[in-house]
Chains A and B, each alone.
Chain A
Amino acid sequence: MEAFGLLLHGFAVLLTWKTLVLMMVGLVLGIFVGVLPGLGGPNGVAILLPLTFTMDPTSAIVMLSCIYWGALFGGAITSILFNIPGEAWSVATTFDGYPMAQQGRAAEALTAAFTSSFIGSLVAVLLITFLAPMISSFALKFGPPEFFAVYLLTFCSFVGLGREAKHKTVISMSLGLLLAGIGMDTVSGNLRMTFGSPELLRGINFLVAVIGLFGISEILLTMEERLALRGHAAGISLRVVLGVWKDLPKYWVTLLRSSFIGCWLGITPGGAIAASFMGYNLAKRFAKEPENFGKGRIEGVFAPETAAHASGTSALLPMLALGIPGSGTAAILLGGLMVWGLNPGPMLFVEHKDFVWGLIASMYLGNVVGLVLVLTTVPIFASILRVPFAAVAPMIVVSCAIGAYAIQNAMFDIWLMLGFGIVGYVFKKIGIPLAPFTLALVLGNRAEDAFRLSMIGSGGTLKVFWSNGLVSSITTLALLLLFWPVIDNLLGRVGWTQRARAPSQ
C-alpha cells in the first residue's frame, strides 16, 4: 500500500493552519460562485487564479480545487430551492429536487444532494488515489510519439463522441489549435502568425482566453434571461440529516451505479453534464416505479448528484497522471500548474510528491469540510441570491479584468479578454462548443512539440506512430474514435448493431 503511505504524507503537508484557512476560503468562494447566476466552476476558478500567483503551488492548488468543490456543492442549492440550476450539471437535480422542495421536503432534498455529492467525490478520489500513481508510472515510459498519440486520442474522442454537430467541433478545435500556435515557435524559434505585432509575440495566453470565454460571455448570456426567482431557503436540522443518512443503505445500487458512470465519463471527455443526465435516466429505468420520478423521489436527487460529482472529481485523474485535462475546469487548473512553474504530466508524481499528494489529500478533506459547511450554512448562501445582479455583474467584470491583466501584466490582454467574451457569447448561441476550443488552446503547443520531436527522432516518417504495440494501439484507437460516427453508421447499415439504428428512428 504505497499509495496509502504517500496519502498520509499528503495529509501531513495539508494540515497546517495556512493551508486549512485557504481551504475554507476556497470552499466559501466556491459555494458563492456556484450559487450566483452567471458564474460557474470554470469561471470562478479562472477569475480567482491570479490570487494564487504569488502562493506556493500546493497552497494554490488546494485553494483552487476547493473553489471547484464548493461550486459543485453550490450548484445543487439553487436547483433544489429555486428550480434554477446554478450549473449545467445540476439540471437533472431539479427534476426531483424542486418538487421535493415544493412538498416542503427541501431540507431532505438538500441533504440528499450534498451527501450524494460527497459520496460521488469520495469514490472518484479513491479511484484517483490508487489509479493515478499507476497510470503515471506507466506513462513515465512514454516518449514523444506515445504522448502525441494520447493527445490525438483526446482530440479525436471529442470530435467522434461529441454530441454537437461534427463540423462545429472541428471548427472549435482547429481554431483553438491555431491560436495556440501564435507567437514564437518553440522548436525552431521562428515567429508564426504574428503579422509584425509585438503584442502577438507573446502568443495568446490560455487563461486570458478562458476568462473571456467563460467569464465575460457568461455575463452577457445571463443578462438575456429573466433573473427573477422565488423560493424558500430552508435550514437543515440534524434530525433531517440523520433521517436521510439512515435511509442511505437502501439506495446503495443507485449510488454505486451513478459513481461508476460519473468516474467513467469524467476520465473520458464526457463530462459532468452528461454524467448527471445518464445517472438520472438509468436510475429511472431500473426503478420499480419509474413513473414516480419527477414527482419528488429522493433517488432522483441521489442519482444525478452522485454522478456529477464523481465525474467532476475524476476529471482530475487524467490531468494529474498524464497532463490531459478531463474537463474545462481541469484544463484551467492545468493552466495554473504551468503558471506556478510545474510541468504537468507523469513526472509530477516523481518530482513534486508534496504537490500531488497534498492535492489528493485536500480532495478528501475538502469534501468532508465542504459537506459540513453546506449542511450548516444553506440559508446564508441562498440569501446571496438576494444581492441584485446589477451589483454582481460589474464586480465580475472587474474581477475578470484583474485576472486577465495579472497573468502577463499586459493591457492588451484585457482587450483580448473582451474579444474572447464576444466570441464566447456568439459561439455558445450558435452551438459551437467551447470545451474543444479550451482543450486545444491548452494542449496545442504540447501536442505539436510532441509531434515534431517524434518526427526529429524518427527522421521524418509517420511510421513512428505505429512503431510499437502501445503507440500503434493508441493511434489506431484515436483514428477509430475520430471516424466513429461513420463506422457506427456503416455497422448499423450492415445490420451488425441494432443500437446504431435505434436513435435515428
Chain B
Amino acid sequence: MRGSLRELSSRRKPLTRRFAPTSPVRTGRGEQFPSLASELMSQTDIEIVVDDPTAPEDDSPSVIASGTIEIIVCLLLLALAITLGYDNWRTGASWDATGPEPGYFPFYLSVILGGGSLYGLIAALVSHRAARETFVTRAQARRVMAVFAPTLLFCLVTQVLGLYVASFLLIAGFMRLVGKIALWKSLLTAVVFTAIMFVTFDIAFDVIMPKGPLEAALGR
C-alpha cells in the first residue's frame, strides 16, 4: 500500500476498481500504446507508482455467498419491521377525527418494510444467481477486518480516554501495524494530525470533543 517513486516495473496488472464497468470496450485497452506512451511523455512528467503488497488475492476462496447475506439482511429487516410495527400499534395507529394518530405513518411504513423484506427473502431464496455470487472472499474479509477492528477499538478508547488520545493511538497503531510504515513516521503523523485536529476544533472553532484523563491532567 505504500507509495513510492519508482521506475516502471515489468508487472502490468490491470487496475481494478469497484466502479469499473464490465464493458468489453474497456478491458485491456491502453495496453496498445505502452511504448508510444513512454516515448511521448515528456521528461518533466512525474511518474507515480503505488504498490499494494497486502492486496487481496484474486483467487481467494469465498467466505459467504451474497444470497446468504441477502437472506440474513431480509430476516433482520423483517424482525425490525415487526418490532417497530408492534411499538407503533401500541402508540396508536388508527385514523381519528383529525387524521392519523402518531403511530399511523410508522406503522404502515413498518408494514411496507416488512413486505419488501419478505419479497426480498423469497427472491433471494429462489434466485440461484445470488447464491453463487461471492459476498466477500477470505482475503477481502481479512483486509476489511483490519480496518473495522481498529475502528471498533477506537470507539471504545474514545469513550474511556477521550477522542484525541484514541485518535493518536489509532493513527499510529494502524500505520505501524497494518500499513507496516516506519515507527517514527507513524508516530509523527499521528502527533501532527491529532494536534491539528485539537487546534482546529478545540481552540479555533470551539467544538468540544469527548475528553479523558490526559486532557484533564493538562488542564483543558
| Interface residue? A344 (CB, 8 A) | no
Residue A288 lies at the interface, judged by CB distance under 8 Å to chain B: no
Residue interface mask A282-318, B partner, CB < 8 A = 1: 0000000000001100000000000000000000000
Determine the interface band of chain A, counting residues with CB < 8 A from chain B: 35 or more
A234 and B45 within 8 A (CB): yes
Q: Which residues 157-192 of B have a CB within 8 angstroms of A?
A: 158-159, 163, 167, 170-171, 174-175, 178-181, 189
Q: Are B41 and A429 in contact (CB under 8 A)?
A: no
The chain A residue with its CB closest to the CB of B174 is: A394
Cβ-defined partner of A99 (8 Å) among B29, B106, B206, B208: B29
Residues on B with beta carbons closer than 8 Å to the beta carbon of A102: 30, 32-34, 36-37
**A398 contacts B167, C-beta separation under 8 Å:** yes
Nearest-Cβ distance from residue B57 to partner chain A, whole angstroms: 9
A388 at the interface (CB under 8 A from B): yes
Q: A219–B179 Cα gap in the complex (Å)?
A: 15
Q: Would you call A468 an interface residue if the criterion is a C-beta within 8 Å of the partner chain's C-beta atoms? A: no
Residue among B1, B13, B143 making CB contact with A388, cutoff 8 Å: B1
Q: Tell me the bound Cα distance from A411 to B212 in angstroms.
A: 13
Q: Enumerate A381-401 residues with CB–CB distance to B below 8 Å.
A: 382-383, 385-391, 393-395, 397-399, 401
- Of the candidate stretches A201-209, A220-228, A242-250, the one touching chain B is A220-228
B102 touches A190 (CB 8 A): yes
Q: How many A-B residue pairs have CB under 8 A?
A: 294
Residue of B nearest to A226 (CB): B55
Task: Kindly list chain B residues whose C-beta atoms are within 8 Å of the C-beta of A227.
Answer: 1, 50, 52, 55
Q: Tell me if B84 and A178 are in contact (CB < 8 A).
A: yes
Contact between B170 and A394, CB atoms less than 8 A apart:
yes
Contact A402 B47 (CB under 8 A): no
Instruction: Using A84-B15, A104-B40 as known contacts, say yes or no to A171 and B120 having CB atoms under 8 A apart.
Output: yes
- B151 contacts chain A at the CB level, 8 A cutoff: yes
Q: Place the interface of chain B in its size category.
A: 35 or more
Q: How far is the CB of B49 from chain A (nearest CB, A)?
A: 5
Min Cβ gap A338→B in Å is 18
By the criterion CB–CB under 8 Å, are A394 and B25 in contact? no
- Which residue in A81, A219, A395, A427 is a CB contact (below 8 Å) of B171? A395
Asked if A495 is at the interface (CB within 8 A of a chain B CB), the reply is no
* Smallest beta-carbon distance B205→chain A, Å: 5
Please give the residue numbers on chain B whose beta carbons come within 8 Å of chain A beta carbons, in ascending order: 1-5, 8, 13, 15-21, 23, 25-26, 29-30, 32-34, 36-37, 39-42, 44-52, 55-56, 66, 69-70, 73, 77, 80, 84, 87-88, 91-92, 95-103, 105-106, 109-110, 112-113, 115-117, 119-120, 123, 135-136, 140, 143-144, 146-148, 150-152, 154-155, 158-159, 163, 167, 170-171, 174-175, 178-181, 189, 193-194, 197, 200-201, 205-210
Can you sample 5 A-B contacts with CB below 8 Å?
A: A99-B33, A193-B84, A220-B147, A394-B171, A429-B135
